[in-house]
Amino acid sequence: MQFGKRAGDHTADAVLQMQRTMTAGQLQQVAADIDRVLEKIEEDTYGVCDECGQPIGEERLEAITWALRCVRCQAGGHSR
């Protein structure tokens, strides 16, 4: 699946850029998510919601490159 590799490169760039532009406090907040995203890239599950397994969506990933959950799961919390 080519999407994973392409998105992975994109994310690696975005993470680097983020590390340059974010404050230490901001970075700390997203550091865990970024770790997980890098894991997901290696697992080839980048772009797939950690919660429900559905695609997170390109728009969301463009806005939040390190998004781990789709909009619904992020907004709905853990209610199923």
Q: Which residues bind Zn ion (CB under 5 A)?
A: 49, 51-52, 70, 73
Q: Which is nearer to Zn ion, 20 or 80 (CB)?
A: 80
Q: Nearest approach, Cβ of 55 to Zn ion (angstroms)?
A: 9
Q: Nearest approach, Cβ of 41 to Zn ion (angstroms)?
A: 18
d(CA 15, CA 6): 14
CB 56 within 8 A of CB 69: yes
Q: Which is nearer to Zn ion, 24 or 63 (CB)?
A: 63
d(CA 18, CA 2): 24
